[in-house]
Amino acid sequence: MAGMGDGYVGTAQDAVRIRRLEKQREVERRKIQELKNKTASVGGQTGLLQFGSGTSEVLETAFKKETVGLVTREEYVEKRVNIRNKIEEEEKEKLQKLQQEEEELHLQKRKKRRVKGTSRLSFADEVDDGSDEEVAVNSDQGEDKIRHGKFGKDPTVETSFLPDSEREAEEQAERERLRKQWFREQELIRNEPLEITYSYWDGAGHRRVIQEIRTTSVENLLYVKEDLIIPHQHSFYELIVNKARGKSGPLFHFDVHEDVRTTADATIEKDESHAGKVVERHWYEKNKHIFPASRWEIYDPTRKWERYTIHGD
């Protein structure tokens, strides 16, 4: 034995087993490398999903569909942030689903290769038994290493409730940008011309030019709309944005129109708008016990009128 050198000398079966294990280890190394490459590629796609050029377009489209007509500043900012969060959550769900599909595909491939490896060679029973046990142990260890090496954290765990200074700073910047945008848009709305239909009222309506109120100051005039006296501190813009309701009709429509229907339906509220009235204060104080002045009340933004009435209370 000394003349044969210092190397290991075994039987032919041992040599076969060694070559077989070397091939299996080489296969496992390739699997690990493939998983690392695919993990890196998925990580690169995450940035594209979150910060791709199409995200802003989708956000603007969804926001236009949700925002119709005039809205308050709080509703404007809330809808914008909610839509953005919803789109980001959908993108995260797509990424998680893609990662799960790839993981399932890798597991299926490992199972197929393991089944093929057990029936590839046909030597003595004792060789097969020993090699099968070693293959099972090595494959299990390899899978454990892959799992622990690929995922340091569980990507399915909800982490939005955790404090994140960077995310909070981005949200604050987005809110500030939306706030400024909302103020710009509201300023444009305020500067738009508004046509108002009204009549001078002294017990009867006058829509022609009246000479009597030429010398009357603003403090001595009242504006009455839908049986409500509108105080001077309230603007038309405020009535429109809040969609204020009066006793006999909406306060945010300043034209005159009737609700004409082909079929009567008591379940649907009438949509009628009446001309506003400009009244002198001394006339109102003198005749406020007589209809229609007896129905007039001071406008209160906190009071809600659930239904419209024409006569009575």
Q: Rounded to two decimals, what is the model's pTM? A: 0.39
Q: What is the pLDDT along the chain (313 residues), one digit of tens a residue?
A: 444 444 555 678 878 888 888 888 888 888 888 887 876 665 554 444 444 445 566 666 766 666 666 667 777 777 778 878 888 888 888 888 888 888 888 888 888 777 766 555 554 444 445 455 554 545 555 555 555 555 567 778 877 778 888 888 999 999 999 999 998 988 888 888 888 888 888 877 666 666 666 677 888 888 888 888 888 888 888 888 888 888 877 888 777 766 555 455 555 556 677 788 888 888 899 998 888 888 888 888 888 877 766 655 5
What are 196-200's contacts with CB under 8 Å, separation 24+?
A: 196/236, 196/254, 196/276, 197/254, 197/255, 197/256, 197/275, 197/276, 198/223, 198/275, 198/276, 198/277, 198/278, 199/275, 199/276, 199/277, 199/278, 200/277, 200/278, 200/279
Q: Please tell me the distance from the alpha carbon of residue 113 to that of residue 142, in angstroms, as a whole number.
A: 14
Which of 73, 43, 35 has its CA nearest to residue 189?
A: 73
Which of 161, 170, 168, 235 has its CA nearest to residue 196?
A: 235
- Could you say which DSSP state residue 139 is in? H
Classify strands 228-230 and 205-206 as parallel, antiparallel or unpaired: unpaired
Which of 280, 278, 287, 276 has its CA nearest to residue 220?
A: 280
With contact defined as beta carbons under 8 Å apart, do 283 and 223 qualify?
no
The phi, psi pair for 201, rounded to 5°, reads -125, 125
Reply yes or no: is the peptide bond before residue 163 cis, omega within 30 of 0. Answer: no
Distance of CA 211 to the CA centre of its chain: 56
126: its two tokens? 């004792």
DSSP 216-231: --GGGEEEEETTEEE-
* Cβ-Cβ contacts under 8 Å for 213 (sequence gap 6 or more): 200, 221, 278, 280
